[in-house]
Structure formats: C-alpha cells, structure tokens
Structure 1
Amino acid sequence: MHNARPRVLVLGGTGEGREIAARLADSVDLEVVTSLAGRVRDPRWPEGEVRVGGFGGAEGLAGWLAENDIRALLDATHPFASRITANAHLAARTCEIPFAVCQRPSWAQHPQDRWFPARDLSHAAELVPVLGTRAFLTIGRQGVSAFAEVSGVSFLVRSIDPPTGAMPAPHELILARGPFDVESERELMRRRGIDVVVTKSSGGDQTYAKIVAARQLGLPVIVVERPPAPEGVESFNSPSAAAAWLESTVT
C-alpha cells in the first residue's frame, strides 16, 4: 500500500543535504526523509523527518528502501563518502528506483596556489615529509591513521570529533567546527609554524579559508583528490537542481 505522498530518501549530513531538505520541507507532492550516519556527536539537524544510523551495507539499505516504500534515492553525503555512495547505488539498482548524487563542486586552483595533488591519503602521507616538517592536517577525523608512520614531521590535527585509529607522533589535536575565517586561519598557521597544509578536495565555503590563508602565506597545500563517482549515475552540483530532480522524478 503506497503513501499518499511519494517518499524519497536523502542521504545527508552535509550542508547540501540540509538545503535540499529545507527546499522540500513544505512540498505537497512528496515526503522527504533525511538519513544521517550518526558519526558526528552533535550533527546539524535538517528539516523534516530524520533517520539516524547505518543501514547495514547495500543489502540493508535495499531492505529499508523496500519496507518504507521509497520511490527515489539521493546521495548528498560528503564527496569522500565513496563507500556510502557505492552502497546507495547498488541498493537503488536492486530496488529499481531512481538514484542520483549531489556533490558540491571541487575547489578551483588559484594561480598563486601551491597545490600538490595526491591520489589518496597514503600518497598524501608520502608527500608530507618532502614538503615540510610542521603539517596542518585538516582531513576530518577519518583517515588520520594514514599519517601515523610519517617520520620527521609534527602534525597539527583539526577535526570536529576526535579521530579514530592511530595518530601521528608528535601531534597536537584541535577539535573545532567550521566555518573558519581567513584571518584566524592565517594566524593559526603562523603561530604554530605550519609549513605544509594537507586537505581533501572537499569544496564548499565552510573550510575554504584555510586555502586562502595558505595562499597568502605561500605555503604548499597537499590536496587529496576525490574518489571517482559510480559510472552512469546522474549527478548535480547544486541543492536546487537536486531538489528539482527529486520532485520531477516521483511526481
């Protein structure tokens, strides 16, 4: 038995996910459920119905989609949440429902930026000691362990929640949530003697200030490239386009 309004699931936890939920909160044509992984202790809550916690991989997600009569699935998770994206793609195919991805655009390199692209976190860890001895590691809490064996470098690690797994030695940990401003980022790097910055190519405005600060200080920035999206999947780089796709897909 179908719901009066078609239900759609948004895999959120990002600003894009919150904006999509807000845009569709008053929709008379569809009902939006936002899923949060529950990995952040104090998440920013989206509007509308929210589900917190994992699904148990692609199979568990497919079962939940079927049980809850979900008509379309939109992945608006972090650009580096590749496992979630792959599971979502497979679950949507299993349930034969429309699937799309909404990802913010990557940052564009400025002519004065000193960027060093890295294929992944392991590659970034190899580059760090080549470029500096005092690294500002701003990649979130997951993946910090990739730098645990780097020698000859001290790390300033910043994340919202404490990282999981092994930590580099020596290191100093700062727990903070963006947005950050350029002046404070520049002062932080100066005060701590930072000579190389490590970041993911996350995009968005929340943490872009570190890129500008590094540019102004002439610091090298190791930029970890995004994992590739599943082939043949429809993709949007704006919440408005993604929200419009959901409405047009199920109504």
Structure 2
Amino acid sequence: MAAKKKLIKKEAVGNPTARARNELGLISDGSIEYTYDDNGLVDWRKMVKQEFLVPNKQKTKETDISNLADKDLLILLGGIKNLAQIRGFSKVEYRVYSAAPDYVMTSCGITWLPNYETENKEVYFEALADASMSNTKSFARNFLAAIAENRAFVRCVRNFLRINVVGQDEMGDASLLTESNSASTATSAADPHSLLSSVMQEKGVSFDDLKKKLVTEGKIKEFEYKSLQDIPKSQIFALIKRLKTIKG
C-alpha cells in the first residue's frame, strides 16, 4: 500500500494581511460597508466604529457618545489603526527631529495606496507631533518617544482622511498648562517656528536666504513673508526636512 503523501502548507507570498481591492481602490471582499459624503468621497469620519469613540473628559461630563458633537469626542488609537488598514498603505516611516530627556519631536510619514480619491495615484503624507513634560500626563512622561510616535501617526491618519475628531493619544493633561516653571524650556522647543529657527542657525541659513530661495522656486511671492513667524506651521516641517539635508 502506497504511503500517503504529507501535505505541506505553503506560506502566502507577499503581504498576508493584504485585502482584495477593486478598480476604485476600495476593499471588495464585502467585509467593509463604505459611507460617502456629498462630494462622493469616502466619509472617513463616519467610518469610525462607535467602540473606538470616547467622551473628551476635559470638555464634557456626558458619558453617552451619541449625545456628543465631534468636538467633545476622542478617537482611540485602535480606531485610527483600523481606518488606516481599511484605507490601505504600503509603508510607514518615522523620523526623530528633536530628542531630549524632557522633549521629543517626531514625524510620521505614510505611503497610501492608490484609490479614486487620489486619482488612483500613490500618495505620501506626513505629519509632525511632539511630547514633552508639559503636554503629557502621569506615567506617559516616562515614554515621551513612544507618545510622540503615536501622536504623529494619529495626526497623519486623521489629517489625510479629513477627520476632525481629536485622537486620545494627542491629548495632554490640562492641569499641567499652569505649570510654567518646569515646562518653559519644553514649551519653547515645542514651537515649530523655534525649531525652524534652531535648524536654520545650525545650517547657517538666514531668513533672507530662505525667503530668496522660496521666491526663486516660485513657492511664495516676494513680499509674502516679512518674518519667520509669517511662515505657516503647515509648511515648516517641509522646510526643516530640506534644511536637514544641507551638509555642514
């Protein structure tokens, strides 16, 4: 009698967590029910499951989330991760821009899969976040790097998916806002303009040099920025990133 052949189970090639998507870039296995806004785009805010929403206790005493507006809600980290998986991404990158015992600034960049919302093009989106002794609470003060990383990830996903509900991981301790003595250094460092100024000094770049470069590239008009403080915070990260590439 011939011996039975032992079946060998082969591991899946590629990403085992990848899910089938249709020509629009949406999951097509029937497990996800998408909700759309008036413009025909996915309403990612409404895609957040109720189990991942909690009251913002710094703003309200109400415990029933069905009675709360978005401004009084917080999204748990699990909800942000769930949305990111549904939207689909191919890569997540983190960069540390400032690290000290009492302050950490980190960026999170995500390469999102193509879908109809981005004209079927792959899109890279990045966000910046920080953690300091003045904007964290209790035991979190011992894990500033991890907190900054989570905040950057949450902010990156929220902003890209147009979600205006704040992530729970982005919240600090409101009671610490009055503790100015021990937190003054971190507070100053947390200002993006201060960080940009510090990097410019490190690289020997003056405000006039920076402004002239941006005007030459057609990024701004000649008289658009009169001082460093006029530069929008949304553009500061990109400028810091470019300055960091300048070799000493």
Specify the TM-score bucket, using the shorter chain as the normaliser. under 0.3
The structure with more radius of gyration: 2
Scaled by the length of structure 1, the TM-score of the pair is 0.21
Scaled by the length of structure 2, the TM-score of the pair is 0.21
